[in-house]
Chains A and B, each alone.
Chain A
């Protein structure tokens, strides 16, 4: 008994307790629900069986039903648009800003830090602000675009089925750009200066330096940032209830929001679980890329 106590105080037992407590907690509140989710997707879940573990087995019925839902392909398309447009926007703008702030001038680090406020704000507040900026008749974005001559007619960002998903994409790009920029800036700072000096002596112009030094040296950073962007975009939820609530007619709904609506607005927990299992497979794919691109750094 005292040996066990001693090990806890002064040996491997101490490490095991520290890591074990956290892993048990995560197992109970993240691992188990994940397994339970898969189980539910194969069961019939309704108000009567909600409280029990043993429910009628449904096989793949839920999966078939979800795919047969009239909005399934629309939501799948929206999810792809949302994910790839957000990632592309966040990455391109974030990378440009990171390159700009990598120029050494006084105050660069401080001003760059200010951009991160978008990242610490509650998602719902960001959604509320963008919802107001994107409003049709009285929104300031329409006014600015009109005065710049980019659009002639008022665009009803939130209620026009052609644009509703883009309204959320715009807000999400704003939300994620700063984090992308920060991570890319870290990668940029790690490139040895003398590479650029040597290239400059050899007569390489700015574009050549970017293409032959910056991009190759940033390869693992870019991989990690893109996969983190994919993960972050798939995690995004708060913007949807704040801006469009998935509407009009599901034209701006994505998998995560659709799953939540199934469970908590239609109380069809089996379908909600099924959609989230499908989404989990997508996330799994993203995280494999993420882990691969950070693997050598993790061992660091």
Chain B
């Protein structure tokens, strides 16, 4: 039984276009002039598309510094999460016992803690141990603890799909546990780990609440805090806000579209196994 699929496809595209309208609106607004954004009714396509706002925002808002800090923080978070989380996920995937269940339960519980619950004790605690003098490190540590449970849950699902027999064969052939882990298990799970690492990087790249609360010095703040500096209920220069947002998210969106298929399959295998 074959169905005519063209109407379905058209409807699907229409739904996607409707859903992604906010993104379109961000780009279109950033191309409008300062007076055109206040046209009523608004224009759905800029009268004279103008990209001069982009360099203006880039330099005026010192975006290179902000974005660099975002990259530093996201890299730190991803590194810690991948190094500590991968081993933990491997062990939790390899055994089945009461202790593994307890460990998984604890990790699931940590996954659900809102950042807004954690930030008050983290800030006061960091203040007492002197970590606030290294604000970016403090944010990296806090955000890595936030990202790790999700990473472990997803990567554990990847390790579950690596056949146990391969690792056992390597052990029989005289490999040590360490050797089998690094030369057999890790390479087989590489793709899944990579996808989860990219997801971790993306979410750390947009991290806001910890950075906003911990990093006071402007030259160390990430792009999210930079954006919040001129965003609020009474904002008015919407074309520069939208240009800033566009510069900020376009790399993430490009990465996502490139890796879409893998990201979606990585998520679906782990999130709801």
A interface list, Cβ under 8 A from B: 9-11, 14-15, 17-19, 21-23, 25-26, 29-34, 36-37, 40, 45, 50-53, 97, 100-101, 103, 105-118, 120-133, 135, 137-138, 140, 143, 147, 158-159, 174, 177-178, 182-183, 185-187, 221, 224-225, 231, 234-235, 237-238, 241-245, 247-248, 256-257, 259-260, 263-264, 269, 272-273, 276, 279-280, 283-284, 286-287, 290-291, 294, 297-300
Contacts and interface: CB of A to CB of B under 8 A. Distances in A.
B110 A19 contact: no
Contacts of B109: 284, 287, 291
A288 to B, nearest CB: 9
A225 B268 CA distance: 13
Given A19-B91, A36-B124, A138-B39, 4 more contacts: A26-B145, A30-B110, A269-B120, A276-B118
B121 A18 contact: no
A255 B116 CA distance: 9
A237 B210 CA distance: 11
Given A37-B121, A260-B119, A159 B112 contact: no
A32 B116 contact: no
B134 interface: no
Contacts of B207: 122
B178 A115 contact: no
Contacts of B206: 121-125, 238
Nearest to A37: B121
A26 B148 contact: yes
B131 to A, nearest CB: 11
B42 interface: yes
B273 A300 contact: yes
B120 A272 contact: yes
B242 interface: yes
3 closest Cβ pairs, A-B complex: A122-B206, A18-B87, A256-B116
Interface string B203-214: 101111100110
Contacts of A286: 112
Q: Is the interface of A mostly helix, strand, loop or mixed?
A: helix
A97 B176 contact: no
Contacts of B23: 117, 129
Contacts of B256: 116-117, 120
Contacts of A247: 233
Interface of B: 3, 5, 8-9, 11-13, 15-16, 19-20, 22-23, 25-26, 29, 37-42, 80, 84-85, 87-88, 90-92, 94-96, 101, 103-125, 127-128, 141-142, 144-146, 148-149, 152, 160, 176-178, 181, 199, 202-203, 205-209, 212-213, 223-224, 227-228, 231-233, 235, 238, 241-242, 245, 248-249, 252-253, 256-257, 260-261, 263-264, 267-268, 271-273
A129 B239 CA distance: 11
B228 A237 contact: no
9 contacts: A10-B178, A22-B88, A29-B142, A109-B261, A114-B16, A121-B252, A123-B208, A130-B22, A143-B41
B251 to A, nearest CB: 11
B227 A124 contact: yes
Contacts of B241: 128, 132
A183 B16 CA distance: 18
A103 to B, nearest CB: 6
A33 B114 CA distance: 12
Given A18-B88, A26-B149, A283 B112 contact: yes
Contacts of A257: 116
B84 A241 contact: no
Nearest to A21: B84
Given A111-B13, A183-B272, A287-B112, A238 B181 contact: no
B242 A132 contact: yes
Contact of B148 (A22, A107, A140): A22
| Most chain A beta-carbon neighbours within 10 Å: one of B94, B253, B267 | B267
A247 B177 CA distance: 57
A26 B25 CA distance: 40
A128 B242 contact: yes
B13 A10 contact: no
Nearest to A258: B116
A149 B134 CA distance: 55
A221 B121 CA distance: 34
Nearest to B105: A291
